[in-house]
Structure 1
Amino acid sequence: MTAQDDQLQKKLSWVYLFNLVFYIIPLFMVKFSWWQYLLMALALIGFLYCYFWAYNCPRQQMYKPTLGIIAIASLITPINPGSIAMFSYAGFFIGYANPLKHYLPKVLGLVLLLIVLEAMLTIHWSSFLYIGLPIVLGVSFLGWVEQQTMLKRLSQQQSADEIKQLAAMVERERIGRDLHDILGHTLSSIILKADLAEKLLARQQPAAAQQQLTELSTIARDALSQVRQSVSGYKHQGLTAEVAKLLSRLRDAGFQAELRGAIPQLDSRYETTLVLALTELVTNVMRHSKGDRCQLSFTHTSKHLHVELADNGDAVAFIEGNGITGLRERLSAIGAELTLQHDAGFTAIIDLPLKAH
């Protein structure tokens, strides 16, 4: 899901509340006591809290607000049978959050609950089941369809990520081959020139030795230029575009991802290193974090850049592997420092002094 899609869904969460019309209509058609109006208002507030809780939590945790909605709807049904609208939202979240083998028994349990309420309570709506059941089942099925659409989108995103990873692997192999070809020939030439200069000095021929050392220096500079050209073959779409992709990946993985601060304009070397570093850190969050929120923030001046990636997962210390070690080395090459913290969640901080360009 893109950032634009995420914002659109948040706006539509209010639109989807139109089904509450079934709950509101009785307020204008039936005369209630003041305490009944109060209870219905409290029930509506409790429902809205659970609704937006469910809308913003990971699917694995959606059962908690869903149970809250079912409890509120069950308690208010004897007063306002328009609570069937609340049951329909519970049905939607059941459909959206569960695979088919769990969805079917749970939605069946919801149907049985409605039948039991009809049998045991005095419900002032003769069509509570006849109209309510089709609504609940229909909305629940829409939730399951929405889940399948989301899973298909995630599968496509995963395929795209795998293609990108394959392309990156091919690029690394290309760089390795280029470096092997460049350095193999160049180092042989350097050794030859150095040995020859040493022999000439031993023969008291400093002018000839100086010529060999001059040629050795030229060979080394040419090799350095060729290595830089080979390594610079890594391409990306810029820091801003890559950050947007990383935030989108986090949201697709179930995180509420937030960007704070303005993304600065940097030279290509700094941007490439930061893109690779943030990609590594975001991948670690997606693999190891048990949280559901992640914040990426940029704070910068003309002389310093501070980048912070933090999640709300369990703060458990870990042993740094080759990935983090390589990340520190890559950042050190541009003068940046990586700090990892395990306080209220996991936090990675990149501090980069900026040079005047």
Structure 2
Amino acid sequence: MSLLLKIHYFLLPQDEDIGYAVYSNLLFLSLFFGNLYFRPVHGFDMVIIIAGLMTFLVLYFRAFAAHKNDLIYYIAAMCFIGVALSEINIGANIFFIYAAAFSGEIYNKRKAFITLLLVLAFIIFYSVITDKSSYFWLPAIFMSITLGLLNINRTEVLKKNKALKQSQQETKHLAKIAERERISRDLHDLLGHSLSVITLKSELAGKMIDKGLPSEKIKIEIKAMEELSRKTLAQVRDAVKGYNIATIKGELLQVRVATEAAKIELIENIELESLPTGIESELALIIREAITNVIRHAETEKVWIVLKQVATHLTLTISDQGQITAIKEQSGMQNMRTRINKMGGEMNVASVPNTQLKFTLPITAKSQNNKVISTLHTVANG
């Protein structure tokens, strides 16, 4: 780090809103030195001027690091430096201008305007009681108004930019959280379903071996597990990348394999030909999670899946012959509820006389006109 940069960080706080313009602003002191050149002073007066300048520079740089509510004290101190040095050099009116400029740094706009008005009133009051010429108070008032208003406007712009930046950062943070939750839900649904099927098929293969069934049949089950494992791996990769677009047709094919392995009869009734892409993908994943829960927890011989549109609402009903005994919803139920709520729908659970999950989703004209992917034609079996 260069020496100048070290000095910069020593004098000023490391704030991205504070640039090198703070040094160029000190060029206004040339007005003071110009008057000092044409009207030189000596002796004790020079000591006062040097002390006043040193004090001002300390106040100037410390004001940028000061708490916004404490700026009023720095502004008052600059005004008193102006009073002390104006009795020696008329160019000291520049210190009143610096005080007015710093009033714009106060973050509360109302307080900034009041402070600026107080500085202007002090300039007028001081000029009147000391009978200062117009060469003193006229430029002081004009430049104080100009720089004060410019800084107030600049501070307001900075506040809005900071608010916008903070909002963008919060949005990014929320997007990251949403993405993590999406990946978590997708992985839960993918792995939960696939591992359940692999477990069932593994148990089936083990039973076939115990019974001494032909090896060809056992190889078929093992081959099915291998294919499912490869497909699951590809789906996991797609889910992490954000490309996991499930279809109801594809899910029903997998669900059929899983229920057959679990010796559960699947009865489907799909009365829709097409759905918007996003809606179909979410409903397909809901079907996957629901059937996974049925295979894992429900003591049932049959499971029904009904998907149809009634007026402006889409309803998906998944029911079985078992009963829900747990009061608290586990992650699977929570994931399904999150998915349907995200689309503006709702999930209702009934456990009497048997378990029924009903998902209701309003379908607007806008969503119906979105890009669609094919589902299934009306299917009714059982």
Q: TM-score, normalised by structure 1?
A: 0.53
Deviation at 1:230, TM superposition (A): 2.0
Which residue of 2 is the match for residue 102 of structure 1? 111
Name which one, 1 or 2, has greater alpha-carbon Rg: 2
Find 1:33's aligned residue among 16, 37, 42: 42
- How far, CA to CA, are the matches of 1:61 and 1:224 in structure 2? 61
Which residue of 2 is the match for residue 127 of structure 1? 135
Which residue of 1 is the match for residue 158 of structure 2? 150
Which residue type is aligned with residue 196 of structure 2? Answer: S
Deviation at 1:146, TM superposition (A): 0.8
Deviation at 1:233, TM superposition (A): 4.3
Return 74-83 or 197-206, whichever deviates more.
197-206
Which residue of 1 is the match for residue 53 of structure 2? 44
**Aligned partners of 2:202 and 2:222 also within 8 Å:** yes
Deviation at 1:175, TM superposition (A): 2.5
**Aligned partners of 1:22 and 1:84 also within 8 Å:** no
Which residue type is aligned with residue 100 of structure 1? Answer: K
- How far, CA to CA, are the matches of 1:175 and 1:31 in structure 2? 76
- Number of residues paired by the alignment? 228
- How far, CA to CA, are the matches of 1:72 and 1:143 in structure 2? 21
Which residue of 1 is the match for residue 203 of structure 2? 195
Structure 2: runs of 5 or more not aligned: 1-14, 244-382
SS at match of 1:10: coil
Which residue of 2 is the match for residue 66 of structure 1? 75
**Aligned partners of 1:23 and 1:82 also within 8 Å:** yes
Find 1:161's aligned residue among 151, 161, 169: 169
Which residue type is aligned with residue 89 of structure 1? Answer: Y
Which residue of 2 is the match for residue 81 of structure 1? 90
**Aligned partners of 1:96 and 1:145 also within 8 Å:** no
Deviation at 1:186, TM superposition (A): 0.7
**Aligned partners of 1:175 and 1:230 also within 8 Å:** yes
- How far, CA to CA, are the matches of 1:197 and 1:19 in structure 2? 89
Deviation at 1:55, TM superposition (A): 3.1
Which residue type is aligned with residue 66 of structure 1? Answer: I
Q: TM-score, normalised by structure 2?
A: 0.50
Q: State the Cα deviation string for residues 273-311 of structure 1 (Å, max 9, x = none).
A: xxxxxxxxxxxxxxxxxxxxxxxxxxxxxxxxxxxxxxx
1:115 aligned onto 2:124: yes
1:90 aligned onto 2:114: no
Deviation at 1:18, TM superposition (A): 2.2
SS at match of 2:88: coil
1:11 aligned onto 2:20: yes
Which residue of 2 is the match for residue 54 of structure 1? 63
**Aligned partners of 1:78 and 1:121 also within 8 Å:** no
Alignment of 1:1-357 (within 5 A): 10-57=19-66, 59-121=68-130, 125-161=133-169, 163-165=171-173, 167-168=175-176, 171-172=179-180, 174-203=182-211, 212=221, 216=225, 219-220=228-229, 222-233=231-242
Q: State the Cα deviation string for residues 102-127 of structure 1 (Å, max 9, x = none).
A: 1232222212322333344475x553
